Chain A
Amino acid sequence: MASSEASSAHDMKNLVREETDEDEMLLTRSSDIELGPNSSRNTEFGLRVQNNSIWYLDTGASNHMCGDENMFDELSKIEARHVSFGDASKVMVKGRGTICFSQKNGRIGTIRDVYYVPDLKTNILSMGQLMEKGYSVIMKDRVLELKHKLGHLIARVEMKQNRMYKLELRCLKLNVEDEAMKWHFRFGHLHFGGLTELVQKEMVRGLPNIEFKKNFCEDCVLGKHQRASLPKTTEYQVKEQLGLVHTDVCGLITPVSFSGKRYFLTFIDDFSQKTWVYCLKEKFEVFGVFKKFKVMIENETCTKIKAVRSDRGGEYTSAEFMRYCEELGIRRFLIASYSPQQNGVAERKNQTILNMVRAMLKGKNMSKEFWAEAVQCAVYVQNRCPHAKLNGQIPHEAWSGKKPCVSHLNVFNNVAYAHVPAQQRTKLEDRSKKLVFIGYDEKTKGYKLFNPVTNKVLVSRDVVIDEENEWNNSAVIVKSIATTSGSSKTTFGSPTSERINLDNVPARQQEVFDEEEEPLQTRTRSLQDIYNTTNEVHMCLLAESEDVRFEEAVVDEKWKKAMDEEIAAIERNNTWELSDLPQGARPIGVKWVFKKKMNAQGEIERYKAQLVVKGYRQREGVDYAEVFAPVTRMETVRLLISIAAQNKWPIFQMDVKSAFLNGVLKEEVYIEQPLGYMRRGEEKKVLWLKKALYGLKQAPRA
């Protein structure tokens, strides 16, 4: 150990002057001598406070003395001792202890038997006490050398101006009073129960047999704080209907339902576990729905809602909601923030509902937009399912005291045949229509059925259900679009028309619309939606230009004909003349562009080939001079309209057919002969443009 100290001695802090010939220099003392065999502390503790202190080496002092209580690592109080000074004054000694200090090599040294003298402002190391321990002190040439009994140097101190020998130590203080705490730290903040177990069962050696009392350790709290456990049973037990109502909003659910609903709101009566559900578009509707629900439910039961438990969502904690509850004396149980577990009943219900909805939609391949109907249906069913909290009852019975009949239950999205009333059909018409079952109507004793062709919901009690078959939902939508696009007058093909109305069948009296889930009657869908859900021919409406290459086009009869037409039109317009290329002129390339023109139904109307000039090859000043086009000011347009209005003149409008351009070119422009239309034998010649062609810089003026 001595050798390891020596090896790192050269960088010790207390080294006043380093001597190259004598590298065995240490601090004032080495730890291994002072410490007992049991406490060889050569690891540094994390919780030590360092403060530098000045120590004077004093031959005239009987003991080591220190005036700062905080510097002591261990301190035991002693009484009735005094220290006498040169002026015969006496000061009290309050205790005796050990001081730890850090050596530069990371070890910890100790000075034992240091008196604690509170009145002392400086710290004194007694040379006599050091010598008792076996150190040797050599004072020579203004330098004091402290040597270990084995002979190596511990410190070399130079005499200061005032003829004192001053030594600086970095004192360490352990922040623990308790041995138990120390071991708690050493075991990496192991909990005290663990330490106790280690001691009691003697699992390790060297751990002192002390009592590990539970102490407060801030680092443990900051590092290991866990959430408080939740009670299994609630304190607030209700014995009657509406004693407590749990409520929660679930959402945002995508996609939005057919009527634009994005959330659903549940109310659960704690006594009976009966659930009511409402679908919402926006969260702010919660307050209105709650008022509606309250009136409805209190009227039904003749008791009042006593308490409402909800989370701290803005919809529940809004000023108006709180005031409303206050005025009606409804107790509010809010959860602590970030503890949705406290609203467990409602949250669990949401999970149960959504599980059921997912299963129902998935099981029958229903489109997800039907979720709102499925939620209604799921809650209807769940009120007729057993519940863990109710002993042998279902929520519906616990609520109303009657056992309900479930023989009418049906599978969601089954094909259902609804009877058409005699008033609405002629003798030879079908007596039934094929619809989809989507739920149970609460108001009438009947089934809610969805007509996928007209996109309407109707309620009927004369229903025959086909349990085997499901309605293929994707086929329905395609079909309804196909029928609509054929007959409706909407400008389907125009790029500005973004919506089409799916419904073009007049409403029938018999059809009753559900309040919660609005009818799908005025539903509109964007074109993009339709493209996404169908793979129909409408896709090609989006295509502007065809990626047809000349090599492909020239073998295709349709395109060939289109090119012939274009060349004929150009020549009829006297656009160019075959000529020789003058000296110094550079011909500009031409290119064929192929387009399919569509009509409004998305069918190909015409194949169009257009010859364009590679205008980007033109040079300013040579091939063209100016590029602007005549435009009018908006103000002038309005002025003319104003004048026309004042004079009652009709305004007419004309549009230049853009087949070709009429502008006569001032500049001499030569173009290459178009591909496929080279004059035989005159391939070298170029075309002298008299009129503008598309692609030319002059085109806007022409």
Chain B
Amino acid sequence: MFIDLYVDDLVFMGNDVELTKKFKRTMEKEFEMTDLGHMRYFLGLKVKQLETGIFVSQERYAEDILSKFKMARCCPVSTPMEPDTKLSKFDGGDHVDANKYRSLVGSLRYLKSTRPDLLLSVGIVSRYMEESTYTHWRALKRILRYVRGTTSLRLYYTRSDDYRLVGYSDSDWCGDVDYRKSTSGYVFFMSNTAFTWLSKKQPIVTLSTCEAEYVAASLSVCHAIWLRNLLSKLEMKQKGGTVIRVDNKSAIELAKNPVNHGRSKHIDVKFHFIREQVKEGNVEMVHVGSRDQIADLFTKPLPTVLFNNYKNLIGMKDGRSI
């Protein structure tokens, strides 16, 4: 039985029906608690439990954001950010109301809890919270227009017997025009739906795509280790190494062969943490074609077709089509 506690809200589940009932009774006796039955709303997430699987969405929250920012009737678009958008700190235009900008970014950041498709674009606009100009505000508005068209999009967790953790790691190169830093992204799957993801500007400037991918991979390896620990505590210990799919062959080689190469000798020691983990068999780096690299979604703005494809792969379904 698993119990998840958030201050005074708690959710629990278990394979033993008797045990859960007993737990409920004990809790009610010990503290004055209300039994809310099946989990429906938790921390703003709407959870819908069906025979076939579980939906998690923030539809209401998304609509609230739209109406709060008076975008409830805007024209929807198919992607949150135009491909090849390059925002810069020094983008011209008037300064916009910082409070409004930050409030909107903050609202969208919480929306990311069930909307990995927004991860990258919200991440990018939140880099310009300090001195936001009209250009950034327009990018932000576009995200809202995208949200408007996709409020019913939700995560769909289905039944399966496959407890294997699989990760995808990817990076763009020099996506940030101001500092020439790259953006790394990863996503982890159990069965068919992603449950943890990240899109982050790398802390260092890298000299090659290989290095950027390597830095991204090391981030995802760290996360994989944490997840493996968490899962083993939940008595779902992963057998064998966790597969991390990378679309850069040289990065994989770099992780496998502990030799210093002319072009990789400058790479910081901490990123070589990955080598040790590969050697110990905790993680396994596997090559994947660029077309199937789902983590691409978290590193650069994509055109509609690719974007929708990855959205499907990540396990997002439109609530209206079900």
A648 to B13, CA, bound (A): 10
Q: Are B5 and A635 in contact (CB under 8 A)?
A: no
For B196, give the chain A residue with the smallest CB separation: A635
Query: Which of B6, B27, B42, B191 interacts with A631 by CB under 8 Å?
Result: B6
Query: In the complex, which residues of chain A have a beta carbon less than 8 angstroms from the beta carbon of B160?
Result: 646
Chain B residue numbers with a CB within 8 Å of A646 are 157-163, 190-191
Q: How many interface residues does A have (CB within 8 Å)?
A: 34
| Interface bits A630-657 vs B (CB < 8 Å: 1, else 0) | 1110111111111111111111111111
Judged by DSSP, the binding face of A is: mixed
Residue of chain B at shortest CB distance from A645: B157
B34 closest partner in A (C-beta): A655
Q: Decide if B157 touches A650 in the complex (CB within 8 Å).
A: no
Chain B: residues with Cβ within 8 Å of the partner, total of 56
CA distance A475 to B225 in the complex (A): 68
Bound Cα distance from A636 to B12, whole angstroms: 12
Interface locus among B53-61, B124-132, B237-245, B305-313: B53-61
A656 to B193 Cα, complex, angstroms: 31
- Which A residues lie within 8 Å of B6 (CB)? 630-632
- Tell whether A659 is near chain B: CB-to-CB under 8 Å: yes
Closest chain A residue, CB of each to CB of B36: A653
List, in ascending order, chain A residues with CB within 8 A of B317's CB.
Answer: none
- Complex Cα distance, B24 from A641, in Å, reads 19
Q: Tell me the complex Cα distance, A270–B135, Å.
A: 47
* B13 partner residues in chain A, CB cutoff 8 A: 640, 644, 649-652
B96 at the interface (CB under 8 A from A): no
Contacts of A555 in B (CB 8 A): none
Q: Is A105 an interface residue (CB 8 A)?
A: no
Tally the A-B contacts, defined by beta carbons under 8 Å: 137
Contact mask for chain B residues 1-26; partner A; CB cutoff 8 A; 1 contact, 0 none: 01011111111111100001000100
Q: Are A654 and B27 in contact (CB under 8 A)?
A: yes
Please tell me if A662 contacts chain B, counting CB pairs below 8 Å. Answer: yes
Q: How far is the CB of A62 from chain B (nearest CB, A)?
A: 72
B207 CB-CB contact with A under 8 Å: no
Q: Does A629 contact B (CB under 8 A)?
A: yes
Collect the chain B residues with CB atoms within 8 Å of residue A641's CB. Answer: 47, 54, 56, 157, 195
CB–CB A650/B31 < 8 A: no
- Is A498 engaged at the interface, CB distance under 8 Å to the other chain? yes
Question: Which of A496, A632, A639, A652 contacts B196, CB < 8 Å?
Answer: A639
A662: which B residues are within 8 A, CB to CB?
30-31
Contact B31 A630 (CB under 8 A): no
Contact B15 A656 (CB under 8 A): no
Contacts of B193 in A (CB 8 A): 642, 645
List, in ascending order, chain B residues with CB within 8 A of A657's CB. 31-34
* Complex contact A496–B34 (CB within 8 A): no
Contact with A along B146-164 (1 / 0, CB 8 A): 0000000001011111110
A496 touches B64 (CB 8 A): yes
- Inter-chain contacts of B38 with A (CB < 8 A): 650-653
| Residue picked from A629, A631, A642, A659, most chain B C-beta under 10 Å | A642
Nearest chain A CB to B97's CB is how many angstroms away? Answer: 21
1/0 contact string of B185-212 vs chain A (CB within 8 Å):
0000011010110000000000000000
Give the distance in Å from the alpha carbon of A647 to the alpha carbon of B13 in the complex: 10
Does A700 make an interface contact (CB < 8 A)?
Answer: yes
- A532 CB within 8 Å of chain B: no
Judge whether B33 and A638 touch: CB under 8 Å.
no
Contact B56 A638 (CB under 8 A): yes
Residues of B near A639 (CB, < 8 A) are 190, 195-196, 227, 230
The 7 A-B pairs with the shortest beta carbon distances in the complex, nearest first, are: A645-B157, A656-B8, A651-B39, A657-B32, A638-B195, A653-B39, A645-B54
- Some 18 contacts from A to B, beta carbons below 8 A apart, are A632-B5, A634-B43, A636-B230, A641-B157, A650-B13, A652-B24, A653-B10, A653-B11, A653-B38, A654-B10, A654-B12, A654-B24, A654-B27, A654-B34, A656-B8, A656-B9, A656-B32, A657-B32
Known: A637-B43, A654-B34, A658-B8. 15 other contacts (CB 8 A): A634-B43, A637-B45, A638-B56, A638-B195, A641-B54, A642-B193, A642-B195, A643-B2, A646-B159, A648-B159, A651-B54, A652-B13, A654-B36, A656-B34, A657-B32
